[in-house]
Amino acid sequence: MLRHLPTSRLVALLVGIVAALGGGTAIAMAALGSGGPQPPAKPLAQALHDAAAAPAVQGVTARITFTNHLIDSSSLPGGGGSPLLSGATGRLWASADGRLRLELQSDSGDAQIVSDGKVLSIFDATQNQVYRITLPQQSGSDQKGATDAPPTVAKIQQLLDQLAQNADVSGAAPSNTAGRPSYTTRISPKHDGGLIGAAELAWDAANGAPLRAAVYAAGNPNPVLELKATDIAFGPVDTANLNVTPPSGAKVTTIDLGGSAAKDHQGAGDPATDPKTVAAGLPFTLSAPDTLVGLPRHDVRPVDAGGGKAALVTYGAGLGGIAVLEQAAPAHDPAAPSGGGGGGDRGLALPKVSIGGIDGQELATALGTVVRFERGGVQYTIIGSVPPAAAEAAARAL
């Protein structure tokens, strides 16, 4: 809940919903409604302070609607029937200790998203696929700050002023969300926003619980991603509702964002980000040019992907940057049908694209593009909030 966030993370939540693309940060979401009581008007800093100082809720139970217009389903084989791609309705449970479960149901199948605060598991029943993602953890100082007194209005306003240097932030608009008095704010990047136009966040006026998150593409008045609830209740959550076990035959893909791979490379200081140091710990030759399609290299970090050592190289700054994930190319089954040239993941065949004469795969969305190809035993995945032509140019430059 908002009141458990340390000072520096209160405003960071507003920034995070722009970049997170539904990535599992704002939990208890609900739809904006025109009817029902609304709270009194307040400055944004005051509304955020009151949310941080509100008594903590013991848990959240909600019925939700998930909207996903990122991808034109007609562009995917089989119509993109997964509820993760086409949208769904379902239920959400979240406990005060950070555990949550999101159940999505559609005519095409079901999906489950479960987290204990350390590992996020996504089970897509339509693909019989499980993704287990180790999440970054707060430092000890951040965790201590989470139990301190809420920041003052002046401190929050200072953070908002800093945020305003790079983004347009609206005030706290009084609203009603699933029958609950709430506040809604909208944030839009001033520059380096890529294809992202804006994001909106609504939270409960009484207890500070996040109630809605939506992301908008530039030039589109309708959200391309939105998680909202049609009904919501606060109180203790039964532990049984927070757990789900995928079938034993499901394919499992692991991704470590929590820093365990980086710890293998670090000494007494920060995780190694020097390209030569990172490259020394990889089973393949790292490609990390100083610039990529005119963007300067920003960072090089070791990560774990699919149980193997990999590297994440970022270029540029802001949401308009580009990230490149490099990992050893997976072994291919000669008897398996081709899924589009070196994808490795045969569960979902993506449209083909030629990268310098090499067959690759491309997923174009309303908020960005993903391009994947293999060369010399290395699999490259290029991700950015950029049009397909820009992502393809970055792939060719590698």
Residues 6+ apart with CB under 8 A from 342: 329, 358, 359, 360, 361, 372, 373, 374, 379
Domain assignment of residue 253, yes or no: no
Which H, E and C letters describe 259-285, residue by residue? CHHHHCCCCCCCCCCCHHHHHHCCCCC
The confidence band for 342, taking pLDDT boundaries of 50, 70 and 90, is: very low
| Domain-terminating residue out of 200, 215, 242 | 242
- Within this chain, do residues 115 and 238 fall inside the same structural domain, yes or no? yes
The model's pTM is 0.74
Residue 320 pLDDT > 50, yes or no? yes
Domain assignment of residue 323, yes or no: yes
- Within this chain, do residues 309 and 238 fall inside the same structural domain, yes or no? no
Domain holding 233, by residue range, is 2-242
Residue 205 pLDDT > 90, yes or no? yes
- Within this chain, do residues 189 and 292 fall inside the same structural domain, yes or no? no
Domain assignment of residue 250, yes or no: no
Number of structural domains found in the chain: 2
pLDDT of res. 259? 53
> Which pair of structure tokens corresponds to residue 275?
């390209």
Which percentage of the chain shows pLDDT scores above 90? 45
Domain assignment of residue 249, yes or no: no
The confidence band for 349, taking pLDDT boundaries of 50, 70 and 90, is: low
The confidence band for 335, taking pLDDT boundaries of 50, 70 and 90, is: very low
Residue 28 pLDDT > 60, yes or no? no
Residue 29 pLDDT > 70, yes or no? no
Where in 43-87 does DSSP place strands (E)? Answer: 59-68
pLDDT digits (tens, 9 = 90+) for 34-80: 468 999 999 999 999 999 999 889 999 999 999 988 887 665 555 55
Domain assignment of residue 247, yes or no: no
The confidence band for 248, taking pLDDT boundaries of 50, 70 and 90, is: confident
**Separation of CA 75 from chain center:** 23
CATH of the domain at 88: 2.50.20.10
- Within this chain, do residues 289 and 366 fall inside the same structural domain, yes or no? yes
Residue 210 pLDDT > 70, yes or no? yes
CATH of the domain at 302: 3.30.200.100
pLDDT digits (tens, 9 = 90+) for 263-273: 554 443 445 57
- Within this chain, do residues 212 and 293 fall inside the same structural domain, yes or no? no
- Within this chain, do residues 381 and 356 fall inside the same structural domain, yes or no? yes
- Within this chain, do residues 187 and 263 fall inside the same structural domain, yes or no? no
215 contacts 222 by C-beta, under 8 angstroms: no
Domain assignment of residue 254, yes or no: no
pLDDT of res. 12? 41
pLDDT of res. 304? 81
- Within this chain, do residues 146 and 282 fall inside the same structural domain, yes or no? no
pLDDT digits (tens, 9 = 90+) for 102-129: 999 988 789 999 999 889 999 988 888 8
Domain assignment of residue 252, yes or no: no
Mean model confidence pLDDT for the chain: 80
**CA–CA separation, 17 and 278 (whole Å):** 30
- Within this chain, do residues 14 and 72 fall inside the same structural domain, yes or no? yes
- Within this chain, do residues 84 and 183 fall inside the same structural domain, yes or no? yes
More confident call, 90 vs 27: 90
- Within this chain, do residues 235 and 298 fall inside the same structural domain, yes or no? no
More confident call, 197 vs 81: 197
213-227, 253-267, 303-317, 345-359: which has the highest mean pLDDT? 213-227
| Domain-terminating residue out of 242, 269, 288 | 242
Domain assignment of residue 248, yes or no: no
- Within this chain, do residues 41 and 179 fall inside the same structural domain, yes or no? yes
Which percentage of the chain shows pLDDT scores above 70? 77
More confident call, 300 vs 266: 300
Rounded to 5 degrees, what angle do the CA atoms 318, 324, 327 make?
A: 150
Nearest Cα residue to 379 out of 294, 283, 296, 280? 283
